[in-house]
Structure 1
Amino acid sequence: MSNVSLQIRRAVPSIDPIVADYAVGYIQHVSHATEDSVSAQQLDIPKELTFIEEILIQAGGNVEKVHGLVSGISAQLTEKLDKNMAKLAITGDKSKRLLDVNVLKNSSKRDINSSLALLGTSRDIAHAGRQVESRVDKKKLEKQERKIAKKVAKRNNQFVKYEASKLLNEKKKEDYDSFYLEINPLDFGSSAGKSKDIKVDNFDLYVGEGRRILSDASLTLAHQRRYGLVGQNGIGKSTLLRALSRRELNIPKHITILHVEQELRGDDTPAIQAVLDADVWRKSLLQEEQKITERIEEIEELRKQFDEESGEVMKLDNERGDLDKHLQEISEKLYEMESDKAESRAASILFGLGFSKESQSNPTNSFSGGWRMRLSLARALFCEPDLLLLDEPSNMLDVPSITYLAKYLQGYKGTVLVVSHDRSFLNEVATDIIHQHSERLDYYRGSNFDSFHATREERIKNQRREYDNQMAYREHLQAFIDKFRYNAAKSSEAQSRIKKLEKLPLLEPPEDDKVITFKFPDPDGLSPPILQMHDVAFGYTPEKILLKNVDMDVQMDSRIAFCGGNGTGKTTLLKLLLDQLRPLEGVINKNGRLRVGYFAQHHVDAMDLTLSAVSWMAKAYPGKSDEEYRRHLGSFGITGSLGLQKMELLSGGQKSRVAFAALCLNNPHILILDEPSNHLDTQGLDALADALINFKGGVLMVSHDVATIERVCNEIWVCEDYTVKKFPGNIHDYKKHILKLAGASGVVAKH
C-alpha cells in the first residue's frame, strides 16, 4: 500500500493534490479497519472503495484506468483482510479485551491521515455509511468540499475556519471526554526529550464571515512561560484561544491543551467528582484497569474448564499475556500521573477557589453559573495541561479566589496563555505580554503588564518622533525640488534630492489608541447624615443569619470597596443600602434627598436589547430629547452610530458603558457599583477609574479588580464571619492577609 499515492497520480494526472491526499487517507483508513477485530468482520471492501472510485472519476480520471486501480487496491485489501481473519481464528477473538484507549489511539492515527488535517482541522469526514449514516447527497457535498479546499489551498499556510464535515456529524454531538481525547490523544509512548515549545509561523486567522483578525502572524510560546494576551475588545483574542484549543493551528500532538471557555453543565455529579473526571486520561486508564482485572479473573476461571495442552488454553494464555503487558503500561502511566494523590489535590484546588468542604460534595446542578465557571477553572487546573488557555478567568472570581489563582499559576509547570484586562492579575502572573492589534501580535518578553505599558508608550513615542522627523525631512526635500526642478543651474541638485526622496523608507504613522472618557455629573450638595447603618442584622430567615452587627457611615467623599469570598453577603449588603431588602434588626438612616445610582453585576438583564441605547434610555428614563441622550452617551464612549444601533449588536464593554450612562441620569449623590469592571477592556477600566476619582459624590464598590480598587478606594471593608468590618490596610495588605490564611490552611498550591 506504500505506493498508493503514486498509483493515483498515474491514473489521474490532473488530480488536485488535496483530493489525491484525501483519497490516500481514505484508503489507509480502510486498510487500518482490516486490522480491527470488530470492524474487520463487518468490512465490505468493494463497497467501501466505490466511493473513492467515484471521486477519482469526478476529478478527471479515465474510467478504465481508475476502475483498474481501484480493483487492484481492492484485491490487495481483500487478501490482507483474509489473512487477518485467519490469524484471528488462531489467536482468538480479541474484541472482549480491546482497550478503549487503544481504539482511541488507532482512531487518532487515522484522523491524522485524513484530508482535513491538511486543511488545518483535526476533524475527519467519515463518509462510509458504516460509520455515519448521512442523508446528505455525498457527491454534491464532496464536490462542494473540493471547491472550498481549492480556495483554502490558494493561500500559503493561511488559516480559515473550515468545517466541511460538520454537516455529516451534526447528529453526533461530542461530549467533554470525546473532545478531550480527540484534542489530546492518550499515547503510551514517552514524550521525554520532546520540546514543548510552540511556534506557528506565517498564518492568517479569520472569524465570522471571512473577517481577518490576524495577517501573516507568528505565534511563539516558550514552555513554562506565562503569557498575558492583551488588546482592545473585539480584536479577536478569544478567537485565537479557540483556534489553539481545537488544534486548528499547528500544535505538536504531544503537547496537551485545555481551554477554560464555558461554564460546566450541571448534573447530579458531586463537585469534587466532576473535577476528578476532568482528567480524562486518568479516568480512562482507571476504567481500563478495572476491565483488564475483570477479564484476567474471567480467564483464570475459563482455563479451569480446559485441558492444559488444549488450543483453547493457548488462546487464553496469549490473551492473558497481552493483558498483563498492557496492565503494566497502565500502572506506569497512573504512577507517572500521581493518580493516588488526585483526590487531595482536587479538594485543595476547589477550596482555594472558594468551595467549602461541605459544598464540594454538592451536585454540580446545585451551583449558579458563576460557581460552575469556577468548577470549569478547577477542572483545568487539576488536569495540568502543557498549554493552559484562560479567557478572562477573573470575571467570575472574588478577590480571595483571584489571589489564590494568581499564586497557583506562579508555580504552574506548563505554559499559560491568559486573556485578561485585570492589570494586577497580569502583573502577578504574566512573565511575558503579547499585544494583539492591527492584525498582528507584538511580543514584550520578560514583561508584566506595567512594564509592557511603559515600554509600549516609549516605543510609540520613538515611532512618532522618527515619523515626524522623516516627514519634516521629506517636506524639506520636496520644497527644494518644487523650487528648483526647472532651474537649469540647480537641476542636478534637484535630481539628486528626488533620488534621495525615492530611497527614503516608507514609515507608517504610529497608531494612536482611541481615547475613551467617562464623566459622572457632579451632584448638588447634601448635608450629613447621608447614609448610615447601625447594628444591622439580616437573614432570609431568622434562623439563618447572613449579616449581623453591621455599623457603617457613608459620606459624600466616601470611597469604599467591599471585599470577601462569594456568599459572604457583599451583594446582600448593597441591596440593604438600596432598600431592596429589609433588615431583621437595626436601623438604616438615609437623607431624605439622597439619590443613588446603582450598577448591577447582571445589568444586561434589565436592558431591552432589541432597542437602541437612545431608545432604551428614552423609554426607561423619559424626559430628555434624543440629542440630549446621544450627548450623554457620548460622555461614556458611545459615540456616533453606536447609540442608534440595537444594543444586541454592542460588545459587552459597550453595553456596560450604556449602563453607566443610565445610572447617572438622575444626578446621584452616591454610586453603588456591583462588579463594574467586568467586560471593560484596559482603556475602559482607566476611564472608569478616572471618572470615579473625579466624581464629587460617594462611591461604594464590590469589585475583584485590584488595580481599580487601588486607584479609587481608600477604605477596604471585608465581609466575613457574618459581619462587615473595616480592614486596617489597603487592598494589597488584604491580599497578603488572604495568602497568609491560605498558607495556614494548606490550600495554596505547591508544585
Structure 2
Amino acid sequence: MIQLDKVHLQRGIKVLFNNADLTIHPGQKWGLIGANGTGKSSLFKLLTGELHEDAGHCKIPKYWKISHMAQEVGTSQQDALNYVIDGDAELREVENAIENSQDDGQQLAKFYGQMEHIDGYTAASRAQRLLVGLGFSTEDESRAINDFSGGWRIRLNLAKALMCRSDLLLLDEPTNHLDLDATLWLEQWLQSYDGTLLIISHDRDFLDNVVQAIASLENTLICSYVGNYSAYERQRAERLAQQSAAHSKQQVRIAEIEDFVRRFRAKATKAKQAQSRLKELERMEKIAPAHIDSPFSFRFPEPEKIPQNLIHLSEATIGYKTEDGDVPLASKINLGILDSTRIGLLGHNGAGKSTLIKTLANMQPLLAGDRTEGTHLNIGYFAQHQLEALDLEASCALHLQRLNEKASEQEIRNFLGGFGFQGDRAFEGIRHFSGGEKARLALAIVAWQKPNLLILDEPTNHLDLEMRHALTLALQAFNGALVVVSHDRHLLKNTVDSFVLVDDGKVTAFDGTLEDYQSWLAAKDQQVTPTSSQQALNPSASDDSPADKNTDKKAQRQSAAAQREKLKPLTNALKKLEKQIDQLQSKLNQVEQDLAAPKLYESGNTKLPALIKEQSELRQSIEE
C-alpha cells in the first residue's frame, strides 16, 4: 500500500505539507483535489521518486510498476501507434532481448515465452483500441507525433500511460483535452482498471463515477474523505454549515439557486429533462455551503438590450473550405436562438459541434443557406484559441480598460476580484500566468462586454473545481441566451435546459438527458442487430415462426424446414471453423513435438526462433 506518515515537504520558502498523513490500499481509486499551488503535482512527484520528503516517510512497494501521464508535449517523427505501444516498457525490453539473442537458442526460447506471458502479440490491437477510444481515427495511427496539435499530443500521452500494465496509475487532469465522448470512454476504462488509481481532476462528474475516496489538500494537510466527490461536498458542507460566520453568505448563495430553480420550473416543457434538472439543482442547494470559502464569485452583467430573436439559421450548411472545394459537415440546418435559449451541443468528435459554434459566433461563414441576426445582438464568444490571443505584456486590468476607457480603476479592480485577481495581481503582466489564470481572464473579458448571447466552446478547460462551480452559478444567473459545448457534465446539467445533437450530417433536437445520450452513444457504437443465431434461440422473434397456435402439422414442418434452411449457412460455417481448428491443433502438436528435441537448443541452431514464433502464432489463432 501507499503510506505517507507525517510528511513534511517544502519548495523554496513555501511549505506544501506539514505532518501530512495518507494511506491508500491496493486497488483503491482516489481523487486528489485542492487549490492551485497546494501541492497536488508535488505529491505525484513524491510517489514517482522525482521529489523526496524533507521529513517523515513516503512508502510505496518497490515492485510496483508506476504509470504516469506526461503533461509535456514533445516533438517526434515516430508514428502515433508505436508511440503508444512504447508505454508498455516491458514489451519493448522483451522485443529488444529477442533481437539480440538470435544466436542463443535457450535465451530465445525464454524471451519468446515472456512475450507470450505478457500478451505481447496483441500489443498493436490493444494500442489501437486505446487510440479509437480517445477519439483518433484509423488514419491517425500512422501519422507522426509532430503532425498533431498540442491537445492531441496530450491525448497520446494519456493513451501511452494507459498502455502500461501498471500497479499504480497517476493521472493529472486526464479529461482536460477530451471531448464528452472520449471522457465517457475513459470513465468506463478506469472503472474496469484493477490497479491503484490516483487522479487529479477538476471534473466533478468524472470523479463521482470513478473514485471511491477523496484526498483534499487543505492547509498543508491531506484530509481524507470516504466516497466520491459528491460525498466529499456533503461532508464538507455539513462541517462548514456549522460555522456561524459563514451563515449569511450561505443563505445568499442558496437563495440565488432557489431563484434559478423557480425560473426553470416555470419554463420547463419536457417532463423528463425537467425532473432530471430539478434534481441536480436541489442537490446544488444542499452542497452550497461547501463552496462558501471559494475565492471566486462573479456574475455576467445585465445585458443592455435583449432582443427576442438573436440568430436564425435557415437551410444552412456548415463546414470548411479547402483548395479542392467545400467540405460540408452538416446541412439543411434550421436553428433559432431566442432570448430564452439555453442549449448544450452534443455529438461525436469531428461531427461539427465546434464548426456550428464558430458559425453561430460569426467566426466562420456558411457554405450554403442563410444566417440572420437580431437587432442589438451582442455575442460573448469563448474558445480555447482566445487564450493564445491575449497580450502577454499587458495586465488583466489593461485588457479590460482597452474595451472601456471610461471605466474607473476601482471598478476594474472590483470586477477582476470576482475572477480571483486580487489586489496588485490585477495589474501584473500575464506572461507568467498559468493556463487556468489565462482562462479566467478570457472569461472576464467576455463578461465585461455585457453580452446577451454567450457562445462557449469548452469553457472549463484549465479551470479548477471552485472556478467551475463559480462559472456554473454565474451562468445560472445570466439573463441572456446560452449555447455551450462542454465535456463537463455537471456544468451542462445545471445551466442548459435542452440539447441539440450534431450527428451524421444533421443538427437535430435531442429529446433526453445526458444519461440518455450516453446510452445512445453505446448503442450507436455497437450497432447491435439480431443475427440468425439469435433468432434461432428466440423463434418467436423470427418472421417464419407460426402466428397461429392452431397451425396444422404440415405448416409446422414447412416452418421448421424454412428455419433449418436459414440456419444452414451458419451450420456450414461452424463445421468449417471446427475443421480449421482441428488442422491448427494438429500443426501445433507437431511444432511442440519438434520443440521437444534436445538438439534444437544447441548453439547456432537457426530453426528454433521460427518454431517458437510459429508455436505462439498457432496458439493465438486457435484462441481467436
CA distance in 2, matches of 1:591, 1:703: 26
In structure 1, the residue matched to 2:384 is 601
Does residue 451 (structure 1) correspond to residue 255 (structure 2)? The answer is no
Taking the aligned partners of 2:481 and 2:465, their CA distance within structure 1 comes to 24
1:436-464 residue CA offsets vs partner (Å, 9 max, x unmatched): 1110111113x0110111012223446x4
Q: Determine if the alignment matches structure 1 residue 388 to structure 2 residue 169.
A: yes
Secondary structure class of the residue paired with 2:176: helix
Residue aligned with 2:449, SS: coil
Larger deviation, residues 612-621 vs 585-594: 612-621
Amino acid at match of 2:501: V
Q: CA deviation at 1:361?
A: 2.5
Match in the other structure for 2:479: 696
User: Do 2:300 and 2:478's aligned partners in 1 also have CA atoms closer than 8 Å?
Assistant: yes
Q: Structure 2 vs 1, CA of residues 577 and 231 (structure 1 numbering), >3 Å: closer, same or farther?
A: same
1:424 aligns with 205
Residues 693 and 220 of structure 1: is their aligned pair in 2 closer, same or farther, counting only changes over 3 Å?
same
Report the Cα offset of residue 291 of structure 1.
1.5
1:252-279 CA distance string (max 9 Å, x none): 3211112113255343322212111221
Distance 1:247 1:583 in 2: 51
Contact 2:170 2:197 in 1 (8 A): yes
Q: Residues 257, 568 of structure 1: CA spacing in aligned structure 2 closer, same or farther, 3 A cutoff?
A: same
In the alignment, the residues of structure 1 paired with residue 440 and residue 291 of structure 2 have an alpha-carbon distance, to the nearest angstrom, of: 24
- Contact 2:240 2:246 (8 Å CA) reproduced: no
Assess, with a 3 A threshold, how the Cα gap between structure 1 residues 543 and 650 changes in structure 2: closer, same or farther: closer
Q: Name the counterpart of 1:320.
A: none
Query: 1:619: which partner in 2?
Result: 402
State which of 288, 309, 320 in structure 2 corresponds to 1:539: 320
Task: From the superposition, tell whether residues 368 and 722 of structure 1 become closer, same or farther in structure 2 (CA, over 3 Å).
Answer: farther
How far, CA to CA, are the matches of 2:523 and 2:22 in structure 1? Answer: 38
Q: For the structure 1 residues 205 and 723, does the alpha-carbon distance in structure 2 shift closer, same or farther, using more than 3 Å as the test?
A: farther
The Cα shift of 1:661 comes to: 1.9
**Structure number with higher relative contact order (C-alpha < 8 Å, ≥ 6 residues apart):** 2
Change in Cα spacing, 1:237 to 1:512, as seen in structure 2 (3 Å) is: same
The DSSP-based 3-state class of the residue aligned with 2:171 is strand
Query: Aligned residue for 2:302?
Result: 522
User: For residue 60 of structure 1, what is the aligned residue in structure 2?
Assistant: none
Q: Deviations over 1:325-350 (max 9, x none)?
A: x4344334323311122121111111
- Map of 1:362-511 to 2, 5 A cutoff? 362-445=143-226, 447-461=227-241, 464=243
Identify the match of residue 355 of structure 2 among 572, 577, 583: 572
Percent identity at matched positions? 33
Residues 297-336 of structure 1 correspond to what in structure 2 (within 5 A)? 324=106, 326-336=107-117
Q: Which of 186, 201, 218 matches 2:5?
A: 201
C-alpha distance in 2, partners of 1:604/1:512? Answer: 28
> In structure 2, how many angstroms separate the alpha carbons of the residues matched to 1:287 and 1:535?
59
* Alignment correspondent of 2:139: 358
- How far apart, in 1, do the equivalents of 2:109 and 2:5 lie? 40
Question: How far apart are residue 688 of structure 1 and its match?
Answer: 0.7
The residue type paired with residue 443 of structure 1 is: S
Residue 505 of structure 2 is aligned to residue 722 of structure 1: yes
**1:585-596 alignment to 2 at 5 Å?**
585-596=368-379
Q: Does 2:463 correspond to 1:680?
A: yes
Whichever residue aligns with residue 284 of structure 1, its letter is E
In the alignment, is the contact (CA less than 8 A) between 1:433 and 1:449 conserved in 2? yes
1:74-473 equivalent positions in 2, closer than 5 A: 197-207=1-11, 209-246=12-49, 248=51, 249-293=58-102, 295-296=103-104, 324=106, 326-445=107-226, 447-461=227-241, 464=243
Report the structure number with the largest CA radius of gyration.
1
1:41-52 paired onto structure 2 within 5 Å: none
Is this contact kept in 2: 1:556–1:697, CA < 8 A?
yes
Distance 1:266 1:650, change over 3 A: closer
Instruction: Output the CA distance in 2 between the equivalents of 1:710 and 1:327.
Output: 57
Following the alignment from structure 1 to structure 2, what is the Cα–Cα distance between the partners of residues 217 and 250?
13
> What secondary structure is seen at the aligned counterpart in 2 of 1:278?
coil
Out of 504, 510, 516, which is 1:733 matched to? 516
Q: Please, what is the CA RMSD of the aligned residues? A: 2.5
Give me the whole-angstrom Cα distance separating, in 2, the residues matched to 1:605 and 1:645: 18
Q: What pairs up with 1:17-32 in 2 under 5 angstroms? A: none
- 1:544 offset after TM fit, Å? 2.4
Gapped runs of 5+ residues in structure 2? 52-57, 248-289, 530-624
Structure 2: distance between partners of 1:369 and 1:621? 34
Structure 1 length as normaliser, TM-score? 0.60
Task: Please say if 1:670 is aligned against 2:453.
Answer: yes
Q: Deviations over 1:298-335 (max 9, x none)?
A: xxxxxxxxxxxxxxxxxxxxxxxxx61x4344334323
Structure 1 partner of 2:440: 657
Task: Write the letter of the residue equivalent to 2:111.
Answer: I
After TM superposition, the structure 1 stretch with the greater mean CA deviation from structure 2, 403-412 or 534-543, is 534-543
Classify 1:663/1:512 alpha carbon distance in 2 versus 1 (closer, same or farther; 3 Å).
closer
Residue 100 of structure 2: SS of its match in structure 1?
helix
Contact 2:382 2:456 in 1 (8 A): yes
Q: Residue 87 of structure 2 contacts residue 162 of structure 2 at CA under 8 Å; is this kept in 1?
A: no
Which is strand-richer, 1 or 2?
2
2:137 and 2:291 mapped to 1: Cα distance?
Answer: 48
Residue pair 1:403, 1:738 contacting (<8 A) in 2 also: no
Deviation at 1:723, TM superposition (A): 3.2
* 1:647 Cα deviation after fit: 2.2
Query: What is the aligned partner in structure 2 of residue 73 from structure 1?
Result: none
Secondary structure at 1:268 match in 2: coil
- Give the whole-Å Cα distance in 1 for the aligned partners of 2:110 and 2:507: 55
Structure 2 CA distance for partners of 1:745 and 1:642, relative to 1, 3 Å? farther
1:744 offset after TM fit, Å?
Answer: 4.8
Q: 1:630 offset after TM fit, Å?
A: 1.7
Report if the CA contact (8 A) 2:181-2:349 is conserved.
Answer: no
Contact 1:364 1:372 in 2 (8 A): yes
Q: How much does 1:558 deviate? A: 1.0
* Aligned counterparts of 1:557 and 1:290: Cα–Cα separation in 2: 66
Cα distance 1:219–1:646, how it changes in 2: closer, same or farther (>3 A)? Answer: same
1:276–1:346 CA contact under 8 A, matched in 2: yes
The structure-2 alpha-carbon separation of the partners of 1:637 and 1:613, relative to structure 1 and needing over 3 Å to count, comes to: same
Tell me which amino acid in the other structure corresponds to 1:239. S
AA in 2 matched with 1:344? S
Cα 1:589–1:659 shift into 2, 3 Å: same
Shift of 1:564: 2.5
SS in 2 for 1:521: coil
| TM-aligned CA distance change 1:415 to 1:550, over 3 Å | same
What's the offset of the Cα at 1:676?
0.9
Please give the secondary structure, in 1, of the residue aligned with 2:136.
coil
Residues 400 and 448 of structure 2 are in contact (CA less than 8 Å); yes or no, is this contact kept in structure 1? no
Q: Which one of the candidate residues 419, 430, 434 is aligned to 1:647? A: 430
Evaluate the alpha carbon distance shift between residue 513 and residue 735 of structure 1 in structure 2; reply closer, same or farther with a 3 A threshold.
Answer: same
The superposition leaves residues 534-583 of structure 1 with CA deviations (integer Å, 9 ceiling, x where unpaired) of 12113313342223222211111111112223332222212212222211
What is the letter of the counterpart of residue 606 of structure 1?
A
The one-letter code matched in structure 2 to 1:688 is: L
Q: 1:206 to 1:664 in 2, by over 3 A?
A: same
Q: Is the 1:353–1:404 contact (alpha carbons within 8 Å) kept by the matching residues of 2?
A: yes
Unaligned stretches of 5+ in structure 1? 1-196, 297-322, 469-509, 747-751
